[in-house]
Amino acid sequence: MEKQRFKDRAFGFFQVFGKSLLPPVAVLAAVGIILGFTAALNNQRVADMLPFMQSDIVAYILLSIRGISFRIFGLIPALFAISIAFGMTKKEKHVAAMAGFIAYYILMFSASVMVSSQFSNFPESDLTTLFGHQTLNLGATGGIIAGLLAAYVHNKYYNLKLPSGISFFGGKRSVPVIAFLFAMVLGQFLPFIWLPINAGINSIGRGISGLGIFGPFVYGTLEKLLLPFGLQHVLINMFRFTALGGSWINSYGEVFEGTLPIVNEMIQEGLATDYMLPYARWMSQGRIPIHLFGLPAAALAIFRTAKPQRRPFLKPLLMAGIFSVTLTGITEPIEFLFLFVAPPLFLFHAVMTGFGFFLMDILDIVIPNIQGGLIDVFVFGILFEGSRWFMLVVPAVIFSPIYYFVFKWYLTKNNVIIAEGAETGVEIDMFGDNDQEGSASTGSGTKRAQTIIAALGGAENIDYVTNCITRLRVDVKDSILVNENQLKATGSIGLKKVSKTHIQVVYGAIVEEVAEEVKDALELEK
């Protein structure tokens, strides 16, 4: 029993941790597109096609936007510190976020004091200049450590009781001060702790890279297999922001670690795509064959194998899912249609995702991006000289027919019903435009929120509600009380019971709206 409880706690920790990484990544994805777009417009090929691009005013605007956009990537550690502290606490989140930034600043400055003390000699390659001082080059890892530290301090001390004479500094006000003290002490020891850890991370990165062309296959398959548990973001961001994804020194001698900082620095310096090839293979370009060709073909197979009377109810669901995956790279609206009713199809899908990474790598296609949708293909592929985006015709002719015929064969052979209950008359709209019932307000939130709360076992069964990009994440007292069919009537397309006390309800693009409705309704019921 104790062992299972430990597993549940560990699993819950990594779930919340993965979710807390998403806000900075979303910002970086958007700004990355702006950076890539302005860099692409600045190349000679575009200037030859559009002569007005050569004017001094246009050049100034593009260079300004490009330079300003690039600055945000220097904030990655601080963004992680704030976001993790905010995301891993349940009360007084604004205090936790402030403590996260304080912890990061003090941690790095304290480490710089030790580095400059001459008590030990630290390799120059492991150092960087930050806040005007030479300190450890932790990259995003420094922000992650600070965020976890602040979250721990906050959850332990936010209700601290102090004697009446100094009670003003108790409770939530104690959190930033205690985080400051912890970070100051940890910073003194961190240089000695971090160097062997960093060497180990580099060894793992070299080991995965040492798999050669099979490395991306293993990475892509594992990433997809982690998706049902909500842990894929942990793996992805380790490659994007730590030495697992590689390290690179720019022309000024600055060291960059992780695929995303490296590639964006290369874009900023105007380097050719050939330089990006070793790092792009660990980004999201391997998903492009799945997003543009595989899952749309799977959706067509699902529609064609459905009974005629069910097709009118499936069509808006599948169309919304196709729009989501091809344009933005968000896959869950389609994946969760077959994940639980046809697990062998999801296993096939995971292997094909690994094959997508493998194929893009051996074809020397370089489309370094975060999401893997059409927007990324246009900005980082079509507009970038040397990307070899035209080679996407190869995965197109491979993935589309394979996905279509495998899905059609399996669904027909096993008589699998996708989105069972879609014909009940509740038209599921992934974007919430047709949710007339859900928009009707009552004294305690919307009817949709009331139905969801009831389906979750009632307000007394709900401990905590939050969400990620596509899922409502709920801590409950007992998951047995959750009614999946009732949740489907509110637009849910899947339910994952992670443990006895944690569930995830998949809503797709409307999840944030749903989460706010449920939170508001729960507040009114208290």
Question: pLDDT tens for residues 113-155?
Answer: 998 887 877 777 677 788 778 888 887 888 989 999 999 999 9
Angle at CA of residue 390, ends 389 and 391, nearest 5°: 90
Question: pLDDT tens for residues 221-275?
Answer: 988 888 777 677 778 888 888 888 888 988 888 888 889 889 888 888 888 888 8
The predicted structure's pLDDT at residue 434: 38
Q: How many CA atoms lie within 13 A of 378 on its CB side?
A: 10
The predicted structure's pLDDT at residue 3: 67
Tell me the average pLDDT across 338-350. Answer: 88
What is the pTM assigned to this prediction? 0.68
Question: pLDDT tens for residues 261-275?
Answer: 898 888 888 888 888
Per-residue pLDDT band for 442 (boundaries 50, 70, 90) equals: very low
Per-residue pLDDT band for 412 (boundaries 50, 70, 90) equals: very high
Give me the percent of the chain exceeding a pLDDT of 90. 25
Side chain identity at 441, as an amino acid letter? S
Per-residue pLDDT band for 417 (boundaries 50, 70, 90) equals: confident
Question: pLDDT tens for residues 373-399?
Answer: 888 888 888 888 888 999 999 999 999
Neighbours of 261 (CB within 10 A): 23
Q: How far apart (Å, rounded) are the C-alpha atoms in residues 375 and 518?
A: 32
Lowest mean pLDDT of 88-102, 400-414, 505-519, name the range: 505-519
The predicted structure's pLDDT at residue 376: 85
Taking all residues of the chain, what is their mean pLDDT, rounded to a whole number?
82
**β-bridge partners, 504:** 473, 496
Tell me the average pLDDT across 13-42. Answer: 76
Question: Are β-strands 462-467 and 255-257 bridged in parallel, bridged antiparallel, or unpaired?
Answer: unpaired
Q: Does the pLDDT at position 11 exceed 80?
A: no
Collect all residues with Cβ–Cβ distance below 8 Å to 347 and sequence separation of at least 6. Answer: none
Per-residue pLDDT band for 1 (boundaries 50, 70, 90) equals: low
Q: What share of the chain is helix, strand, coil (3-state, %, to 5)?
A: 70, 10, 20
Tell me the average pLDDT across 299-310. Answer: 89
- 3-state SS of 49-77 is HCHHHHCHHHHHHHHHHHHHHHHHHHHHH
The predicted structure's pLDDT at residue 44: 59
Active site residues: 468
Please name which of 256, 285, 19, 22 lies closest in space to residue 140, comparing C-alpha atoms. Answer: 256
Contact 317, 434 (CB under 8 A): no
Q: Does the pLDDT at position 445 exceed 50?
A: no
Q: Does the pLDDT at position 437 exceed 50?
A: no
Question: Are β-strands 441-442 and 255-257 bridged in parallel, bridged antiparallel, or unpaired?
Answer: unpaired
Q: Does the pLDDT at position 25 exceed 80?
A: no
Per-residue pLDDT band for 407 (boundaries 50, 70, 90) equals: very high
- DSSP strand E in 105-175: where? 127-130, 133-136
The predicted structure's pLDDT at residue 4: 65
What are 218's two structure tokens? 């293993």
Collect all residues with Cβ–Cβ distance below 8 Å to 237 and sequence separation of at least 6. Answer: 21, 25, 140
Q: Does the pLDDT at position 427 exceed 60?
A: no
Q: Does the pLDDT at position 418 exceed 50?
A: yes
Pick the more confident residue, 41 or 423: 41
Pick the more confident residue, 19 or 481: 481
Question: Are β-strands 471-476 and 502-506 bridged in parallel, bridged antiparallel, or unpaired?
Answer: antiparallel
What are 102's two structure tokens? 């304080």
Q: Does the pLDDT at position 179 exceed 90?
A: yes
Q: How far apart (Å, rounded) are the C-alpha atoms in residues 20 and 154?
A: 15
Q: Does the pLDDT at position 285 exceed 70?
A: yes
Neighbours of 49 (CB within 10 A): 8
Q: How far apart (Å, rounded) are the C-alpha atoms in residues 336 and 333?
A: 6
The predicted structure's pLDDT at residue 245: 85
Domains of the chain: 14-207 (no CATH), 218-414 (no CATH), 437-525 (3.30.1360.60)
Neighbours of 60 (CB within 10 A): 10
